[in-house]
Chains A and B, each alone.
Chain A
Amino acid sequence: MSQTTKLIVGVIIAVVVVVAGYSVIKGPSAPEETGPIQIGFIGPLTGDAVTYGEPVSNAIKLAVDEVNKSGGVNGRMIEVIYEDGKCSGKDAVNAAQKLVNVDKVKIIISLCSGETLSILPITEPADVLVLSPLASSPDLTGAGDFFFRNNPSDADGGKVLAELISKKYKRVAIISEQTDYAQALSRVFVKSFESLGGEVVANENFAPETSDFRSMLTKIKEENPEIILINPQTEIAGGTIVKQIKELGITVPLYGTIAMAGSKALEIAGTNAEGMLLVDAPGLSPNNPKAVKFLENYKAKYGEPTLEFYLGAAYDDIFILAQSISKVGTDTEKLRDYLNEMINYNGVIGTYEFDKNGDLAGIEYVVKKIQDGKAVEVK
């Protein structure tokens, strides 16, 4: 080791000792009641699912700006730490470890079902409150005391789809992505559809980030289903499947899940998606002044909104948190009790509350049809 290297190493050691010593003397910086209120965000900021992560994080930024401009919560600003969960359990766990153990956040907003399912084992023991505006997996029902979501469960979504399809058809094919969300939905659908007397003639699954579905669709075509149900995690997979279905000359009616209503899915599918029926969360009501104002502000700042229910739910989450914290402070046990007892919250996505499992109560899935490149609600 040369003289210079020794010197450099010496300086580094000295700095580490001083910094470590300082923080020990200062003690854990835990309950600062004056600094900003930190909220963690775990969602897909890269990868195919970024079509959810990007707009939803924009909606959160919009809400945080509004809260902070009006003076914050009890005089404290809200600060969001964004982490990339890539819609995958593994990445979400890394993000949660960092948020909970390093940043010491007490509140996390988590997006995908897969992300949320994997972080709960970390957040629950640490009494960290988790809110999700997107996660719809039925496996999340009652998954944790500190978990709440303002997105309907697919235990309902899968049933609604099965009932809708079984009214007219008996032989269906389903193609699903290999993710917690899509697999749970597929499970609920297949079970409900079969109990209604239908038959699933082809049940194909594909890995995330797949872009060539032709051979899977060729197999489906061979089984002659009356309809195909497309159940992707991401809009990109969904749009591509619709496109490749038509390219293979398959002409049966198509059904889809919520991802198919996204603008990216419809851009990729183009006119091929026309007439497709899907089960989706309701659109934001034009009679709700809060929703109208939110959409206007979003459009002005980030352009045309996509999947507006998700955006509205995420926006609501920030305001629900702001309201709860202003009432009971930042102690998560008190926040949990407050959210459990909260009734008739009047938000952008409607009037709702959380049931005893932390699930959304008061808003239900609706049926939509793709017309002129847009998902329009049908009665």
Chain B
Amino acid sequence: MGIIPQLILNSIIAGAIYSLVAIGFSLIYGATKFFNLAHGVMAAIGGYSVFYFAKTLGWDLWLAVSIGMLLAGLIGYGLDKIIYKPLRKRKASNMVLLVASLGAFTALQAIIAILFTSQFQTISGNIGAQNIYEIFGGVITQTQLIILISAITIMAGLALLLKYTMFGKAIKAISDDEEVSKIVGINTDKIIGYVFFIGSVIAGLAGILVGFDTGIKPTMGLSLLLKGVIASIVGGIGNIYGGVLGAFLLGFVENFGIWKISGEWKDAIAFGLLIVFLIFRPRGIINN
């Protein structure tokens, strides 16, 4: 059967993880128009919550996962209320917001490292005893299957939410023009707060899933964020469907790119893709 089915599966799994980060990032960018770098650390918060509640305290796994997502969401919401909202009120430029988010990212990451040390931790208890499924000549583990299913569920759920609810329409309105949205009576601060909450919950879930698949460390957010940002830009920044497309494209290009050359060039390939898009199609696959 050859190598291709497995490479396709690897690409899809990588794409699913990237897409979870990219969706939240794009959602927040769409509403606020700034690069929220602190988005990356939400993944670490999710992962470490599960590590703490499920592994250290021995609570129920599903409960720990829920707390992890909720906590990531609340911290994302808190960052908006405490840092970004006052800055927006003062008409701070997007550059200022970006630097503020970088500060929040670094500080939160440091807090995690202080609480849990910089050591790499595993959160899946039954390593070595995972179920493995064979699909079209490739193999996929149970954890990876869960990653894939979660990613698809979240994407579908979010798409429905954005399309069919007033809330979704409000987000779209804010993305188009925040000032006008305010004039027509949308409480933009409230909606943006919710956007931060939802985006951060999804990032927290991404961190939890990555934790189950490989493991967690305080600095895990940065590499996830970078891939999420590349996926968002490639797909069309601010557009969550674009983010998903970009994420899967990135997954495929990365994994097929190292078919014939050595694996050390994986990141170079990812950034190469970014550069190609920035030069030839700067507004991404889905051209807004």
Give the interface of A toward B (CB within 8 A). Answer: 45-48, 50-51, 54, 178, 203-207, 209-216, 218-219, 221-222, 236, 240, 243, 246-249, 264, 267-272
Contacts and interface: CB of A to CB of B under 8 A. Distances in A.
B264 A219 contact: no
Interface in B97-132: 113, 117-120, 122, 127-130, 132
B223 A209 contact: yes
Contacts of B36: none
Nearest to A250: B139
Q: Which of A212, A213, A271 counts the most chain B CB atoms within 10 A?
A: A212
Nearest to A268: B122
A95 B169 CA distance: 53
Given A210-B266, A215-B259, A215-B263, A270 B10 contact: no
Contacts of A203: 262
A218 B6 contact: yes
Contacts of A205: 262-264
Interface stretch (B21-29, B198-206, B212-220, B228-236): B212-220
B156 interface: no
A215 B214 contact: no
Contact of A246 (B13, B128, B255): B128
A192 to B, nearest CB: 21
Nearest to B267: A207
Contacts of B127: 243, 268-272
A250 to B, nearest CB: 10
B214 to A, nearest CB: 5
A218 B10 contact: yes
A216 B132 CA distance: 19
A243 B213 CA distance: 10
Interface in B1-23: 2-3, 6-7, 10-11, 13-14
B153 interface: no
15 contacts: A47-B219, A51-B119, A54-B117, A206-B264, A207-B266, A211-B214, A215-B254, A219-B3, A219-B263, A222-B2, A236-B215, A236-B217, A268-B215, A271-B127, A272-B128
Contacts of B139: 247-249
Contacts, number: 104
Contacts of A207: 264, 266-267
B263 A206 contact: yes
Contacts of A269: 127-128
B120 A215 contact: no
B187 interface: no
Interface size class of B (residues with CB under 8 A): 35 or more
Q: Which of B117, B254, B262 counts the most chain A CB atoms within 10 A?
A: B262
B130 A215 contact: no
B267 to A, nearest CB: 6
Given A206-B264, A216-B258, A240-B214, A247 B130 contact: yes
A67 B87 CA distance: 54
B287 interface: no
A91 to B, nearest CB: 14
A249 B132 contact: yes
Q: Which of B120, B217, B258, B259 counts the most chain A CB atoms within 10 A?
A: B120
A7 to B, nearest CB: 28
A214 B10 contact: yes
Interface in B137-185: 139, 141
Contacts of A236: 120, 215, 217
Interface in B222-277: 223, 254-256, 258-259, 262-264, 266-267
B261 to A, nearest CB: 10
A269 to B, nearest CB: 7
A247 B215 contact: no
Given A210-B266, A218-B3, A218-B7, A268 B14 contact: no
Nearest to B119: A50
A175 to B, nearest CB: 8
A215 B264 contact: no
A353 B276 CA distance: 56
A46 B258 contact: no
